[in-house]
Amino acid sequence: MFESAELGHEIDRKTFQKEVPALRAALLDVQYDLLEKREFPIVILVSGVDGSGKSETINLLYSWMDPRHISTLAFAEPTDEERERPFMWRYWRALPAKGKIGIFAGSWYSQPIADRIQKKMKRAEMEETLDEINRFEAMLVNEGALVLKFWFHLSREGQKTRLKAMEKDPRTAWRVTKASWDRLKTYDDLQAVAGHVLRVTNTAHAPWTIIEGTDDNYRSLTVGHIVRDTIRKHLAQTTRGSVPVAPPIVPAIDKRSVLTELDLSQKIDKKSYEKELAKWQGKLSQLMRDPRFQKNHSLIVAFEGSDAAGKGGSIRRIVAPMDARQYQIIPVAAPTDEERAQPYLWRFWRHIPRKGRAAIFDRTWYGRVLVERVEGFCSEADWLRAYAEINDFEHGLVESGAIVIKFWLQISKEEQLRRFKERENRVQTLQDH
Protein backbone atom coordinates (compact mmCIF):
# COMPACT_ATOMS: atom_id res chain seq x y z
CA MET A 1 0.00 0.00 0.00
CA PHE A 2 2.80 2.42 0.88
CA GLU A 3 5.54 1.37 -1.57
CA SER A 4 4.94 4.36 -3.86
CA ALA A 5 5.64 6.68 -0.90
CA GLU A 6 9.13 5.24 -0.27
CA LEU A 7 10.75 6.19 -3.58
CA GLY A 8 12.80 9.10 -2.27
CA HIS A 9 10.77 11.94 -3.84
CA GLU A 10 12.59 15.29 -3.59
CA ILE A 11 12.16 18.88 -4.74
CA ASP A 12 15.20 21.13 -4.53
CA ARG A 13 14.92 24.45 -2.70
CA LYS A 14 15.33 26.57 -5.86
CA THR A 15 12.44 24.82 -7.64
CA PHE A 16 10.31 25.07 -4.51
CA GLN A 17 10.85 28.82 -4.12
CA LYS A 18 10.15 29.36 -7.79
CA GLU A 19 6.81 27.55 -7.73
CA VAL A 20 5.43 28.82 -4.42
CA PRO A 21 4.35 32.39 -5.44
CA ALA A 22 2.16 31.19 -8.32
CA LEU A 23 0.76 28.35 -6.22
CA ARG A 24 -0.12 30.68 -3.35
CA ALA A 25 -1.89 33.07 -5.70
CA ALA A 26 -3.86 30.23 -7.27
CA LEU A 27 -4.85 28.83 -3.87
CA LEU A 28 -6.12 32.24 -2.77
CA ASP A 29 -8.08 32.59 -6.02
CA VAL A 30 -9.89 29.28 -5.63
CA GLN A 31 -10.47 29.95 -1.93
CA TYR A 32 -12.15 33.29 -2.64
CA ASP A 33 -14.20 31.73 -5.46
CA LEU A 34 -15.30 29.05 -3.01
CA LEU A 35 -16.21 31.69 -0.43
CA GLU A 36 -18.11 33.82 -2.95
CA LYS A 37 -20.20 30.97 -4.33
CA ARG A 38 -20.82 29.25 -0.98
CA GLU A 39 -22.03 26.15 -2.78
CA PHE A 40 -20.09 23.51 -0.88
CA PRO A 41 -17.58 23.07 1.98
CA ILE A 42 -14.08 21.56 1.83
CA VAL A 43 -13.20 18.80 4.30
CA ILE A 44 -9.47 18.03 4.43
CA LEU A 45 -8.22 15.09 6.50
CA VAL A 46 -4.52 15.11 7.42
CA SER A 47 -3.31 11.77 8.80
CA GLY A 48 -0.14 9.72 8.84
CA VAL A 49 2.81 8.59 10.92
CA ASP A 50 4.48 10.76 13.55
CA GLY A 51 7.11 13.11 12.14
CA SER A 52 5.77 12.95 8.58
CA GLY A 53 4.91 16.65 8.41
CA LYS A 54 1.23 16.79 9.30
CA SER A 55 1.47 19.92 11.47
CA GLU A 56 3.92 21.63 9.10
CA THR A 57 1.57 21.09 6.16
CA ILE A 58 -1.43 22.47 8.02
CA ASN A 59 0.57 25.55 9.06
CA LEU A 60 1.70 26.00 5.46
CA LEU A 61 -1.87 25.94 4.14
CA TYR A 62 -2.73 28.62 6.69
CA SER A 63 0.15 30.79 5.48
CA TRP A 64 -0.64 30.23 1.79
CA MET A 65 -4.38 30.85 2.08
CA ASP A 66 -6.65 33.23 3.98
CA PRO A 67 -6.75 31.78 7.52
CA ARG A 68 -9.96 33.62 8.37
CA HIS A 69 -11.93 31.10 6.33
CA ILE A 70 -10.13 27.96 7.51
CA SER A 71 -10.74 26.04 10.71
CA THR A 72 -8.49 23.33 12.10
CA LEU A 73 -9.91 20.65 14.35
CA ALA A 74 -7.51 18.45 16.31
CA PHE A 75 -8.95 15.34 17.90
CA ALA A 76 -7.24 13.51 20.72
CA GLU A 77 -8.82 11.22 23.30
CA PRO A 78 -12.58 11.92 23.59
CA THR A 79 -13.62 14.16 26.46
CA ASP A 80 -16.17 13.01 29.03
CA GLU A 81 -18.83 14.96 27.17
CA GLU A 82 -17.90 13.30 23.88
CA ARG A 83 -17.82 9.79 25.37
CA GLU A 84 -21.42 10.26 26.48
CA ARG A 85 -22.58 10.72 22.90
CA PRO A 86 -22.33 8.70 19.67
CA PHE A 87 -18.85 8.19 18.18
CA MET A 88 -19.48 10.56 15.24
CA TRP A 89 -21.05 13.38 17.30
CA ARG A 90 -17.86 15.39 17.77
CA TYR A 91 -17.04 15.21 14.05
CA TRP A 92 -20.52 16.30 12.98
CA ARG A 93 -20.24 19.36 15.23
CA ALA A 94 -16.91 20.29 13.61
CA LEU A 95 -18.04 20.18 9.97
CA PRO A 96 -17.30 23.41 8.05
CA ALA A 97 -20.14 25.42 6.52
CA LYS A 98 -20.52 25.95 2.78
CA GLY A 99 -17.78 28.20 1.43
CA LYS A 100 -15.40 27.28 4.27
CA ILE A 101 -12.46 24.89 4.62
CA GLY A 102 -12.19 22.54 7.58
CA ILE A 103 -8.87 20.78 8.21
CA PHE A 104 -9.07 17.74 10.47
CA ALA A 105 -5.77 16.96 12.22
CA GLY A 106 -6.69 13.46 13.14
CA SER A 107 -10.20 12.46 12.20
CA TRP A 108 -12.83 9.75 12.41
CA TYR A 109 -10.06 7.34 11.39
CA SER A 110 -7.70 8.03 14.30
CA GLN A 111 -9.58 6.31 17.12
CA PRO A 112 -10.42 3.08 15.22
CA ILE A 113 -6.79 2.73 14.06
CA ALA A 114 -5.43 3.31 17.58
CA ASP A 115 -7.98 0.98 19.17
CA ARG A 116 -7.21 -1.78 16.68
CA ILE A 117 -3.44 -1.49 17.23
CA GLN A 118 -3.95 -1.61 21.01
CA LYS A 119 -6.28 -4.64 20.66
CA LYS A 120 -9.18 -2.67 22.12
CA MET A 121 -11.24 -3.29 18.98
CA LYS A 122 -11.90 -6.59 17.27
CA ARG A 123 -11.51 -6.96 13.51
CA ALA A 124 -15.27 -7.31 13.01
CA GLU A 125 -15.93 -4.18 15.07
CA MET A 126 -13.42 -2.26 13.00
CA GLU A 127 -15.01 -3.42 9.74
CA GLU A 128 -18.37 -2.21 11.01
CA THR A 129 -16.88 1.18 11.95
CA LEU A 130 -15.20 1.55 8.55
CA ASP A 131 -18.47 0.73 6.83
CA GLU A 132 -20.14 3.46 8.90
CA ILE A 133 -17.36 5.90 7.94
CA ASN A 134 -17.75 5.09 4.24
CA ARG A 135 -21.47 5.82 4.43
CA PHE A 136 -20.79 9.04 6.37
CA GLU A 137 -18.35 10.26 3.69
CA ALA A 138 -20.80 9.29 0.95
CA MET A 139 -23.40 11.42 2.72
CA LEU A 140 -21.00 14.38 2.86
CA VAL A 141 -20.29 14.09 -0.86
CA ASN A 142 -23.99 13.73 -1.69
CA GLU A 143 -24.62 16.89 0.32
CA GLY A 144 -22.08 18.66 -1.91
CA ALA A 145 -18.90 18.55 0.22
CA LEU A 146 -15.47 18.05 -1.33
CA VAL A 147 -13.57 15.53 0.81
CA LEU A 148 -9.75 15.38 0.51
CA LYS A 149 -7.92 12.70 2.49
CA PHE A 150 -4.11 12.81 2.86
CA TRP A 151 -1.93 10.15 4.48
CA PHE A 152 1.70 11.20 5.04
CA HIS A 153 4.05 8.23 5.04
CA LEU A 154 7.59 7.60 6.24
CA SER A 155 9.61 4.41 6.24
CA ARG A 156 10.61 3.10 9.66
CA GLU A 157 14.15 4.50 9.26
CA GLY A 158 12.77 7.71 7.82
CA GLN A 159 10.51 8.19 10.82
CA LYS A 160 13.36 7.48 13.24
CA THR A 161 15.60 10.00 11.46
CA ARG A 162 12.87 12.66 11.47
CA LEU A 163 12.11 12.22 15.17
CA LYS A 164 15.80 12.56 16.06
CA ALA A 165 16.14 15.71 13.93
CA MET A 166 13.03 17.24 15.52
CA GLU A 167 14.30 16.37 18.99
CA LYS A 168 17.57 18.22 18.36
CA ASP A 169 15.85 21.36 17.09
CA PRO A 170 14.71 23.62 19.98
CA ARG A 171 11.78 24.80 17.86
CA THR A 172 10.34 21.30 17.46
CA ALA A 173 11.81 19.33 20.37
CA TRP A 174 8.62 19.77 22.42
CA ARG A 175 6.66 17.83 19.81
CA VAL A 176 8.70 14.65 20.30
CA THR A 177 7.46 12.83 23.38
CA LYS A 178 7.88 9.42 24.92
CA ALA A 179 4.64 8.46 23.19
CA SER A 180 6.25 9.33 19.83
CA TRP A 181 9.05 6.85 20.44
CA ASP A 182 6.62 4.27 21.80
CA ARG A 183 4.59 4.50 18.60
CA LEU A 184 7.75 3.90 16.58
CA LYS A 185 7.94 0.49 18.28
CA THR A 186 4.50 -0.36 16.85
CA TYR A 187 5.43 0.85 13.36
CA ASP A 188 4.68 -2.51 11.70
CA ASP A 189 1.31 -2.76 13.44
CA LEU A 190 0.41 0.76 12.27
CA GLN A 191 1.35 -0.05 8.68
CA ALA A 192 -0.75 -3.21 8.71
CA VAL A 193 -3.82 -1.61 10.28
CA ALA A 194 -3.57 1.70 8.40
CA GLY A 195 -2.94 -0.11 5.13
CA HIS A 196 -6.14 -2.09 5.57
CA VAL A 197 -8.11 1.01 6.63
CA LEU A 198 -6.93 2.96 3.59
CA ARG A 199 -7.77 0.13 1.20
CA VAL A 200 -11.29 -0.29 2.59
CA THR A 201 -12.04 3.45 2.67
CA ASN A 202 -10.32 4.43 -0.60
CA THR A 203 -13.60 5.12 -2.39
CA ALA A 204 -14.25 6.86 -5.70
CA HIS A 205 -16.06 9.73 -3.97
CA ALA A 206 -13.50 10.16 -1.15
CA PRO A 207 -10.15 8.67 -2.22
CA TRP A 208 -6.94 8.69 -0.19
CA THR A 209 -3.77 10.39 -1.41
CA ILE A 210 -0.61 8.84 0.06
CA ILE A 211 2.31 11.28 0.11
CA GLU A 212 5.93 10.63 1.00
CA GLY A 213 6.76 12.83 3.99
CA THR A 214 10.57 12.66 3.89
CA ASP A 215 11.17 15.82 1.86
CA ASP A 216 9.33 18.92 3.11
CA ASN A 217 9.40 20.68 -0.26
CA TYR A 218 7.96 17.71 -2.13
CA ARG A 219 5.25 17.14 0.45
CA SER A 220 4.23 20.80 0.58
CA LEU A 221 4.05 21.32 -3.18
CA THR A 222 2.18 18.06 -3.71
CA VAL A 223 -0.50 18.96 -1.18
CA GLY A 224 -0.76 22.52 -2.50
CA HIS A 225 -1.21 21.37 -6.10
CA ILE A 226 -3.82 18.77 -5.18
CA VAL A 227 -5.84 21.20 -3.06
CA ARG A 228 -5.71 23.87 -5.80
CA ASP A 229 -6.58 21.55 -8.69
CA THR A 230 -9.34 19.65 -6.90
CA ILE A 231 -11.12 22.76 -5.64
CA ARG A 232 -10.79 24.40 -9.06
CA LYS A 233 -12.28 21.34 -10.76
CA HIS A 234 -15.11 21.13 -8.23
CA LEU A 235 -15.96 24.81 -8.69
CA ALA A 236 -16.15 24.34 -12.46
CA GLN A 237 -18.69 21.52 -12.25
CA THR A 238 -22.23 22.58 -13.13
CA THR A 239 -23.77 19.40 -11.72
CA ARG A 240 -22.74 17.44 -8.68
CA GLY A 241 -22.25 13.72 -8.87
CA SER A 242 -24.04 11.54 -6.37
CA VAL A 243 -23.20 8.26 -4.73
CA PRO A 244 -26.06 5.74 -5.03
CA VAL A 245 -27.00 4.63 -1.52
CA ALA A 246 -30.64 3.55 -1.68
CA PRO A 247 -32.88 1.37 -3.84
CA PRO A 248 -36.07 2.83 -5.34
CA ILE A 249 -39.26 2.64 -3.30
CA VAL A 250 -41.93 0.25 -4.61
CA PRO A 251 -45.43 1.55 -3.75
CA ALA A 252 -48.18 -0.83 -2.65
CA ILE A 253 -50.48 -1.57 -5.58
CA ASP A 254 -53.59 -1.65 -3.37
CA LYS A 255 -52.68 1.71 -1.74
CA ARG A 256 -52.87 0.18 1.74
CA SER A 257 -50.40 1.21 4.43
CA VAL A 258 -50.00 1.26 8.19
CA LEU A 259 -51.68 4.67 8.30
CA THR A 260 -54.66 3.76 6.12
CA GLU A 261 -55.38 0.73 8.32
CA LEU A 262 -55.24 2.57 11.65
CA ASP A 263 -58.33 2.41 13.85
CA LEU A 264 -58.97 6.11 14.57
CA SER A 265 -62.08 5.47 16.66
CA GLN A 266 -60.28 4.38 19.83
CA LYS A 267 -61.12 6.38 22.95
CA ILE A 268 -60.50 6.45 26.71
CA ASP A 269 -62.80 8.14 29.21
CA LYS A 270 -61.52 11.21 31.05
CA LYS A 271 -61.43 9.63 34.53
CA SER A 272 -59.40 6.64 33.36
CA TYR A 273 -57.15 8.93 31.33
CA GLU A 274 -56.28 11.15 34.28
CA LYS A 275 -55.62 8.16 36.54
CA GLU A 276 -53.38 6.43 34.00
CA LEU A 277 -51.58 9.67 33.09
CA ALA A 278 -50.63 10.33 36.72
CA LYS A 279 -49.44 6.75 37.12
CA TRP A 280 -47.17 6.75 34.08
CA GLN A 281 -45.87 10.26 34.65
CA GLY A 282 -44.79 9.13 38.11
CA LYS A 283 -43.10 6.06 36.64
CA LEU A 284 -41.31 8.20 34.06
CA SER A 285 -40.07 10.55 36.78
CA GLN A 286 -38.62 7.60 38.71
CA LEU A 287 -36.91 6.15 35.65
CA MET A 288 -35.32 9.47 34.72
CA ARG A 289 -33.74 9.64 38.19
CA ASP A 290 -32.61 6.02 38.16
CA PRO A 291 -28.77 5.82 38.50
CA ARG A 292 -28.64 3.26 35.66
CA PHE A 293 -30.27 5.75 33.30
CA GLN A 294 -28.08 8.59 34.52
CA LYS A 295 -24.91 6.60 33.91
CA ASN A 296 -25.65 4.60 30.76
CA HIS A 297 -28.42 6.15 28.73
CA SER A 298 -29.93 9.25 27.19
CA LEU A 299 -33.51 9.63 25.99
CA ILE A 300 -34.51 10.85 22.53
CA VAL A 301 -38.23 11.21 21.79
CA ALA A 302 -39.32 12.03 18.26
CA PHE A 303 -42.79 13.30 17.35
CA GLU A 304 -44.17 13.35 13.83
CA GLY A 305 -47.68 13.25 12.42
CA SER A 306 -50.53 15.23 10.99
CA ASP A 307 -50.96 18.89 11.85
CA ALA A 308 -53.27 19.30 14.88
CA ALA A 309 -52.79 15.65 15.84
CA GLY A 310 -51.67 16.59 19.36
CA LYS A 311 -47.87 16.68 19.24
CA GLY A 312 -47.61 19.77 21.42
CA GLY A 313 -50.00 18.45 24.07
CA SER A 314 -48.26 15.08 24.17
CA ILE A 315 -44.89 16.74 24.66
CA ARG A 316 -46.21 18.87 27.53
CA ARG A 317 -47.48 15.76 29.30
CA ILE A 318 -44.19 13.89 28.82
CA VAL A 319 -42.01 16.66 30.24
CA ALA A 320 -44.39 17.55 33.09
CA PRO A 321 -42.81 15.06 35.56
CA MET A 322 -39.23 15.76 34.42
CA ASP A 323 -36.69 18.10 35.96
CA ALA A 324 -36.43 21.07 33.58
CA ARG A 325 -32.63 20.89 33.85
CA GLN A 326 -32.73 17.37 32.46
CA TYR A 327 -34.42 17.86 29.10
CA GLN A 328 -34.58 20.07 26.04
CA ILE A 329 -37.50 20.47 23.64
CA ILE A 330 -36.41 21.08 20.06
CA PRO A 331 -39.11 22.51 17.76
CA VAL A 332 -38.14 21.87 14.15
CA ALA A 333 -39.20 24.45 11.58
CA ALA A 334 -37.69 25.63 8.29
CA PRO A 335 -33.87 25.47 8.50
CA THR A 336 -31.99 28.65 9.32
CA ASP A 337 -29.21 30.03 7.10
CA GLU A 338 -26.67 28.41 9.43
CA GLU A 339 -28.41 25.04 9.10
CA ARG A 340 -28.76 25.28 5.33
CA ALA A 341 -24.98 25.66 5.11
CA GLN A 342 -24.54 22.16 6.60
CA PRO A 343 -25.69 18.61 5.75
CA TYR A 344 -29.35 18.29 6.68
CA LEU A 345 -28.77 15.93 9.63
CA TRP A 346 -26.33 18.41 11.22
CA ARG A 347 -29.06 20.38 12.96
CA PHE A 348 -30.26 17.24 14.71
CA TRP A 349 -26.81 15.96 15.65
CA ARG A 350 -26.08 19.22 17.45
CA HIS A 351 -28.97 18.60 19.86
CA ILE A 352 -28.15 15.00 20.80
CA PRO A 353 -28.19 14.84 24.63
CA ARG A 354 -25.48 13.42 26.84
CA LYS A 355 -26.16 10.52 29.19
CA GLY A 356 -28.77 11.22 31.85
CA ARG A 357 -30.50 13.84 29.68
CA ALA A 358 -33.46 13.90 27.28
CA ALA A 359 -34.20 15.61 23.98
CA ILE A 360 -37.77 15.83 22.67
CA PHE A 361 -38.10 16.71 19.00
CA ASP A 362 -41.30 18.38 17.77
CA ARG A 363 -40.90 17.36 14.11
CA THR A 364 -37.75 15.50 13.18
CA TRP A 365 -35.14 14.33 10.69
CA TYR A 366 -37.98 12.59 8.83
CA GLY A 367 -38.85 15.97 7.36
CA ARG A 368 -36.46 15.13 4.51
CA VAL A 369 -38.74 12.27 3.39
CA LEU A 370 -41.97 14.08 4.30
CA VAL A 371 -42.46 17.83 3.82
CA GLU A 372 -39.22 18.37 1.87
CA ARG A 373 -40.11 15.52 -0.45
CA VAL A 374 -43.76 16.55 -0.89
CA GLU A 375 -43.02 20.27 -1.35
CA GLY A 376 -40.11 19.63 -3.72
CA PHE A 377 -37.49 21.19 -1.42
CA CYS A 378 -35.07 18.37 -2.20
CA SER A 379 -34.44 16.13 -5.20
CA GLU A 380 -35.63 12.54 -5.54
CA ALA A 381 -32.03 11.35 -5.08
CA ASP A 382 -31.82 13.36 -1.83
CA TRP A 383 -34.90 11.91 -0.17
CA LEU A 384 -34.26 8.39 -1.46
CA ARG A 385 -30.81 8.24 0.13
CA ALA A 386 -32.17 9.88 3.28
CA TYR A 387 -33.79 6.62 4.37
CA ALA A 388 -30.41 4.89 4.62
CA GLU A 389 -28.80 7.96 6.22
CA ILE A 390 -31.57 8.17 8.84
CA ASN A 391 -31.11 4.49 9.63
CA ASP A 392 -27.36 5.10 10.11
CA PHE A 393 -28.11 8.12 12.31
CA GLU A 394 -30.51 6.23 14.56
CA HIS A 395 -28.24 3.18 14.68
CA GLY A 396 -25.40 5.38 15.94
CA LEU A 397 -27.67 6.81 18.63
CA VAL A 398 -28.77 3.40 19.90
CA GLU A 399 -25.23 2.00 19.80
CA SER A 400 -24.12 4.83 22.09
CA GLY A 401 -26.76 3.96 24.69
CA ALA A 402 -29.54 6.33 23.64
CA ILE A 403 -33.14 5.19 24.08
CA VAL A 404 -34.89 6.34 20.90
CA ILE A 405 -38.70 6.43 20.92
CA LYS A 406 -40.60 7.61 17.85
CA PHE A 407 -44.28 8.58 17.78
CA TRP A 408 -46.45 9.19 14.75
CA LEU A 409 -49.75 10.87 15.71
CA GLN A 410 -52.54 10.39 13.19
CA ILE A 411 -56.04 11.83 12.90
CA SER A 412 -58.63 11.71 10.14
CA LYS A 413 -59.04 14.46 7.59
CA GLU A 414 -62.44 15.36 9.10
CA GLU A 415 -61.05 15.56 12.64
CA GLN A 416 -58.16 17.69 11.44
CA LEU A 417 -60.57 20.16 9.82
CA ARG A 418 -62.66 20.29 13.00
CA ARG A 419 -59.59 21.08 15.10
CA PHE A 420 -58.43 23.75 12.65
CA LYS A 421 -61.81 25.48 12.91
CA GLU A 422 -61.74 25.17 16.70
CA ARG A 423 -58.32 26.82 16.79
CA GLU A 424 -59.51 29.54 14.43
CA ASN A 425 -62.51 30.30 16.65
CA ARG A 426 -60.31 30.34 19.76
CA VAL A 427 -57.91 32.83 18.18
CA GLN A 428 -60.81 35.00 17.03
CA THR A 429 -62.31 35.02 20.54
CA LEU A 430 -58.96 36.08 22.05
CA GLN A 431 -58.64 38.88 19.49
CA ASP A 432 -62.17 40.11 20.24
CA HIS A 433 -61.28 40.38 23.93
What is the per-residue pLDDT across 95-137, written as a single tens digit (0 to 9) for each? Answer: 999 999 999 998 999 999 999 999 999 999 999 999 999 999 9
State the chain's mean pLDDT as an integer: 92
Query: How many CB atoms sit inside 10 A of residue 251's CB?
Result: 8
Band the pLDDT of 4: cuts 50, 70, 90: confident
Which neighbouring-strand residues pair with 56? none
Distance between CA atoms of residues 139 and 159, nearest Å:
35
Per-residue pLDDT of 277-330, as tens digits, reads 999 999 999 999 999 999 999 999 999 999 999 999 999 999 999 999 999 999
Q: Lay out the sheet containing 298-305: strands in order across.
A: 327-331, 358-362, 298-305, 402-409
Across the chain, which distance is largest between two alpha carbons, in Å? 88
Band the pLDDT of 248: cuts 50, 70, 90: low
Report pLDDT for 51.
Answer: 85
Distance between CA atoms of residues 330 and 360, nearest Å:
6
Distance between CA atoms of residues 369 and 367, nearest Å:
5
CATH 3.40.640.10 fits 271-432, yes or no: no
Per-residue pLDDT of 156-170, as tens digits, reads 888 888 888 888 888
Per-residue pLDDT of 204-233, as tens digits, reads 899 999 999 989 999 999 999 999 999 999
Per-residue pLDDT of 376-419, as tens digits, reads 999 888 998 999 999 999 999 999 999 999 999 999 999 999 99
Amino acid 222 reads: T
State the Cα angle at 221 between 219 and 226, rounded to 5°: 95
Distance between CA atoms of residues 349 and 87, nearest Å:
11
Instruction: Write down the pTM of the prediction.
Output: 0.86
Superfamily of domain 3-236: P-loop containing nucleotide triphosphate hydrolases (3.40.50.300)
pLDDT at residue 245 is higher than 90: no
Give me the residue spans of the domains in the chain.
Answer: 3-236, 271-432
Q: Distances from the Cα of 102 to the Cαs of 55, 64, 149, 266, 275, in angstroms?
A: 14, 15, 12, 53, 54
Query: How many CB atoms sit inside 10 A of residue 270's CB?
Result: 7
- 3-236 and 271-432: identical CATH topology: yes
Report pLDDT for 231.
Answer: 96
Band the pLDDT of 47: cuts 50, 70, 90: very high
Q: How far is CA 169 from the centre of its chain?
A: 38
